C-alpha cells in the first residue's frame, strides 16, 4: 500500500537557500501526512514497548524472588527504559536516515534544517526530547494522573487532554506547520524529494538540431572532489541548470560556492554555466558508476551504502 501524499492536494511551498547558494523550493508536509507517519511510528513503538514489558516482567520477577528489596529499583529502571526508547526511537532513525523514521519514510516526508544547513544531532535531539513534554507526558497523565501529580484525580486528565489539544493544533497556525520541537530545534518537515537520477538536462538543452547534444568537458574533477555530494544535490543542480530564469549572478554564486566546498579552482568569469554543466556531468557519472557496484549516496550527509 502506498501511503505517499496525494499530489493533487493543495501544497504549501517555502524557500530556503542551501550553503552552496542554491535557492531551494520545498513543499511543507501536510499535517495529515505527519499524523499518519506518527501513527505508524506509534504502532512500531507500541509493539517495542509491549515486547519490552513482557521481557522485563519475566526478568524482574526472577530478580525480585531473589532480591525482594530491589522492587522499587526495578520499577524505576523500567520507566527509565521506556523514556529512553520513546525518546531515542525518533532520534536514532532520523539521525541514521537523514530526517526520516519508518513512518516518515513510508509516507514520504522528512525533517530538514529551516536554514538550509545540515541536520545536526543536537537539533534532532532537541525536537525529539520535547516530544516527551508534548505527547508522552500528557498521555501518561491521561492514563494515570496520580503517577504524574499525586492527588490530581479527574482534573489531571482534563488538564492532560487540554495540553494535548493545545499543542496538537499549534502547527495549524504556523505556515510551515511547526510544532514546539521544530521551533526549538530550527527544523521543519517537508515532502521528501524523489531521490532518482533524472535524464541529463545538458543533452536536452542543445540549442538547435545541428548543435551536438554534448560538448567535450572543459573542466575535469578528481574522484575526491566528486565525493562531496549525493543524488539529492545532483537533482538540485539539475533544477538550477534547467531553470530558464537562472541569471549569471546566481550561476556565479553557486559555482564558486561549490568550487570552494570541493577544493577546486573557481571558474573563469563568464564560464560559470559550462563549469557547472561539466561538474554536473562528472558528478552524475560518478554516482551512476557507484550504483553499478551497489553503492548509493542519497545526499551529502549520507555515507555510500550498498
pLDDT in tens, 45-56: 989 889 888 888
41, 16 Cβ separation under 8 angstroms:
no
C-alpha cell read off for 163 = 495540553
Do residues 297 and 284 make contact, with C-beta atoms less than 8 angstroms apart? no
> Minimal CA–CA distance to 168: which of 158, 181, 185?
181
pLDDT tens figures, 145-204: 655 556 666 666 677 677 777 777 777 777 778 888 898 989 999 888 654 444 444 444
Written as one string, the DSSP assignment of 69-89 is GGHHHHHHHHHHHHHHHHHHH
Q: pLDDT per residue over 248-301, tens digit each? A: 788 888 888 888 888 888 888 888 888 988 888 888 888 777 766 667 676 676
Q: Tell me, what's the pLDDT at 52?
A: 85
Cell of 270: 563568464
- Of residues 251 and 92, the one with the higher pLDDT is 92
pLDDT of residue 229: 82
- Give me the phi and psi of 287, to 5 degrees please: -65, -40
Q: Tens digit of pLDDT for each residue in 27-39?
A: 898 988 998 998 9
- Cα–Cα distances in angstroms (integers) from residue 79 to residues 52, 86, 128, 191, 222, in the given order: 11, 11, 18, 35, 53
**Cα dihedral 78, 84, 89, 93 sign:** negative
- CA dist 189 and 256 (Å) reads 29
pTM of the model: 0.61
Model pLDDT, residue 10: 54
C-alpha–C-alpha distance, residues 78 and 300, integer Å: 39
Rounded Cα distance, 24 and 238, in Å: 12
Amino acid at each position: 500500500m502506498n501511503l505517499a501524499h496525494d499530489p493533487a492536494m493543495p501544497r504549501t511551498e517555502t524557500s530556503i537557500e542551501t550553503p552552496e547558494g542554491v535557492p531551494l523550493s520545498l513543499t511543507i508536509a501536510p499535517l495529515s501526512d505527519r499524523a499518519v507517519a506518527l501513527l505508524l511510528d506509534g504502532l512500531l513503538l507500541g509493539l517495542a514497548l509491549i515486547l519490552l514489558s513482557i521481557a522485563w516482567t519475566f526478568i524482574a520477577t526472577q530478580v525480585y524472588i531473589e532480591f525482594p528489596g530491589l522492587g522499587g529499583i526495578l520499577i524505576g529502571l523500567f520507566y527509565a527504559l521506556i523514556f529512553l526508547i520513546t525518546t531515542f526511537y525518533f532520534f536514532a532513525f532520523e539521525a541514521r536516515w537523514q530526517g526520516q523514521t519508518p513512518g516518515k519514510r513510508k509516507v514520504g516526508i522528512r525533517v530538514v534544517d529551516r536554514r538550509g544547513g545540515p541536520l545536526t544531532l543536537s537539533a534532532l535531539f532537541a525536537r525529539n526530547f520535547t516530544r516527551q513534554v508534548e505527547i508522552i507526558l500528557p498521555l501518561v497523565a491521561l492514563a494515570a494522573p496520580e503517577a504524574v501529580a499525586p492527588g490530581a484525580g479527574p482534573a489531571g486528565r482534563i488538564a492532560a487532554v487540554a495540553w494535548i489539544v493545545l499543542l496538537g493544533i499549534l502547527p495549524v497556525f504556523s505556515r510551515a506547520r511547526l510544532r514546539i520541537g521544530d521551533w526549538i530545534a530550527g527544523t521543519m518537515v517537508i515532502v521528501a524529494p524523489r531521490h532518482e537520477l533524472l535524464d541529463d538536462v545538458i543533452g536536452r538543452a542543445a540549442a538547435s538540431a545541428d548543435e551536438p547534444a554534448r560538448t567535450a568537458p572543459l573542466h575535469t574533477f578528481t574522484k575526491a572532489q566528486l565525493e562531496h555530494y549525493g543524488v539529492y544535490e545532483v537533482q538540485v543542480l539539475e533544477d538550477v541548470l534547467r531553470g530558464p530564469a537562472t541569471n549569471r549572478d546566481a550561476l556565479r554564486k553557486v559555482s564558486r560556492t561549490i568550487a570552494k566546498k570541493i577544493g577546486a579552482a573557481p571558474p573563469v568569469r563568464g564560464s560559470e554555466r559550462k563549469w557547472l554543466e561539466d561538474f554536473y556531468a562528472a558528478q552524475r557519472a560518478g554516482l551512476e558508476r557507484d550504483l553499478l557496484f551497489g553503492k548509493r549516496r542519497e545526499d551529502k550527509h549520507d555515507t555510500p551504502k550498498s
